[in-house]
Amino acid sequence: MTNPLLAPWTGPFALPPFATIRDEDFAPAFDAALAEARAAVAVIATDPQPPTFANTIEALERADGALDQVGGVFFNLAGADSNPAREALQRDLAPKLSAWSSELVMNRPLFARVEALWQRRDTLGLTAEQMRVLTLYRRMFVRAGAQVQGAPAERLTAVKSRLAVLGTQFSQNLLAEERGWFMELAEADLEGLPEFVIASAKAAAEEKGLGGHIITLNRSLIVPFLQFSPRRALRERAYEAWVARGANGNDHDNRSVAAETLALREERAALLGYPSFAAYKLETEMAKTPDAVRDLLMRVWAPARARAEADAEVLTAMMHADGINGALEAWDWRYYSEKRRVAEHDLDEAALKPYFQLDRMIDAAFDCAGRLFGLEFREIAGPFYHPNVRGWEVTRGGQHMAVFLGDYFARGSKRSGAWCSAMRSQSKLAGEVRPIVVNVCNFAKGDPTLLSYDDARTLFHEFGHALHQMLSDVTYSFISGTSVARDFVELPSQLYEHWLEVPEVLKTHARHYKTGAPMPEDMLARLLAASTYDQGFATVEYVASAMVDLAFHEGAAPVDPMARQAEVLAELGMPRAIRMRHATPQFAHVFSGDGYSSGYYSYMWSEVMDADAFEAFEEAGDVFDPATAARLEKFILSAGGSQEADDLYTAFRGRMPGVEALLRGRGLVEGV
């Protein structure tokens, strides 16, 4: 029988045939796709004709089409709906795919053809997009080691293979830790918990085949428990389990994985001629150097730490007033901060949540996309890869733009966090190919599902990434959608969060799930007034994580990453009652592959731009200003990686931004 992963997908919108794909189809499909890619590359590398852009670069664009097709399905499933068979295959694939990558970039005849084109680039009559693609292909080869020869080249291949294995191991260890821990709640332990937390705890127990109520390590469940439970001992138990993920001395301990990863990254950078892995990694980012990253982070750290320390004094006094002596602990912060928010802003999250029903927030995200970019969304039937996944066709002016899949609920088979991916990217080389875009979240499922304001921001954030994919308009998939500098990729997502704060958006979509009544005007005013509440805490926990990431990769790899983590936090003067947002053993951004290694700062680098970019709409006098939205689409959302990131931003805004808009947005400057 024909493998459904390799056969042409002829169903509606050329979606993967999820109903007929079996786990046992993936391994042979990968083998066949790899063989096809190898054969195609061999033809390119040995072509007797002189290299041209068409027979070399465009041929490379086409060479791994089947591999992209199979991988686009598999790796989405591996993250969003894992099982033992998929985890085993992922472990098996890691070294195989790494070997293929090394084989490609170490192919001397192939690189010679790319280099020959590069040397003649000004005589080839290339379009601006083609010149950019050629530049990036050559850069990819060089940075991957194409110019390294002999024993160092062999060692580089081995290092990259081992790093691929370690990244998979880190992810699977973390998933196992999160899947394995839960805390049962007795009836008395439900005291003080809002109904939405109780309902989520009951649903979590049901998912595990249990009665009663449990707290798991899913952020959308454990954070509200820490906010509302008056039982300090239970808060401590839950919090310590949360921050101990990957560091429990069992088969899933990630500390040695992190140490080996850092050592190999240092070696990889040295083999390529760089003084550190951070120098290697940041070379192609907007920041360019570790010093530039540190400068940004420290400009934000000082006011954030001062705000957090002042807040800690207030929360400590509240705790002492409750008759609890001693120091404020990390498991106390959210509880007393929630009490303070109610006291100072008359803003109770339990009262807010009924206005943030999941379906209405999806509608809000779609509505803003329609008003800004003319997009329309029509729900379509599955089957998709999981019964909880929903799908929409995205159109504009009657023209098909994309398929959007939303996978919103937490489950044991899904890794933690939220992300956007594409099962198929936009391109035009072989005719118009429109994307299949996936947003994955981990919201606690309810009936109906009610979101916190932070959850709603996450939904808008990931949808901003999705727009970057949906609106992509380039010829070559190599620069399509989110294929941009890491410290630029968060600009569309973080910028889109701002529309959730627009009063008219909230008035339209933040409606009570039972009555349909809009959020009361006074509640809306209090919500927006409290937009910078607790930003000292949020900024400190984030910047601390980014500084540890930078320190890990800037100098010699630490033998003991946990000791180095402690040193960095001590040097920063980390407030006692705040921990890193992501401690090393669960820092998936940095250790589940090297995507954000030396790059966790990227969210803040992009925030400098997103704060400034939204001010462009405000300066136009309309947050849905058509001309500003058109510039945003033209120069950022549709452009992919067709130009350097700073050139794209300058084309949109006319200049690069300073840090002031970010500080204003976080309320970290006086009078804001």
pLDDT tens-digit series, residues 539-564: 999 999 999 999 999 999 999 999 99
Kind and range of the H or E element at 392? strand 390-396
Query: What average pLDDT does the structure give for the chain?
Result: 96
pLDDT at 446: 87
- Residue whose entry in the numeric block shows the structure tokens 């790494």: 98
Per residue in 192-210, pLDDT (tens digit) is 999 999 999 999 999 999 9
Pair 166, 256: CB distance under 8 Å: no
DSSP 3-state assignment of 231?
A: coil
pLDDT at 661: 85
CA 19 to chain centre: 28
Residues 6+ apart with CB under 8 A from 22: none
Q: What percent of the chain has pLDDT over 70?
A: 99
pLDDT at 1: 63
Per residue in 78-119, pLDDT (tens digit) is 999 999 999 999 999 999 999 999 999 999 999 999 999 999
Mean pLDDT of 635-662: 95
Mean pLDDT of 617-626: 97
Residue 128 has pLDDT above 60, yes or no: yes
Residue 275 has pLDDT above 60, yes or no: yes
DSSP 3-state assignment of 479?
A: helix
pTM of the model: 0.93
Residue 475 has pLDDT above 90, yes or no: yes
Specify whether 462 is catalytic. Answer: yes
Residue-range domains of the chain with CATH: 12-105+107-144 (1.20.1050.40), 181-243 (no CATH), 255-347+535-600 (1.10.1370.10), 354-529+603-665 (1.10.1370.40)
Least confident piece of the model among 169-173, 497-501, 531-535: 531-535
Catalytic residue from among 61, 285, 338, 462: 462
Kind and range of the H or E element at 421? strand 419-424
Pair 313, 333: CB distance under 8 Å: no
Residue 672 has pLDDT above 60, yes or no: no
What the block records as the tokens of 411 is 């489950």
What the block records as the tokens of 417 is 């966090």
The DSSP letter of residue 515 is T
pLDDT band at 670 (very low <50, low <70, confident <90, very high): low
pLDDT band at 408 (very low <50, low <70, confident <90, very high): very high
> CA 479, CA 133: separation in Å to the nearest integer?
7
Residues 6+ apart with CB under 8 A from 220: 200, 410, 442, 443, 444, 452, 455
pLDDT at 671: 42
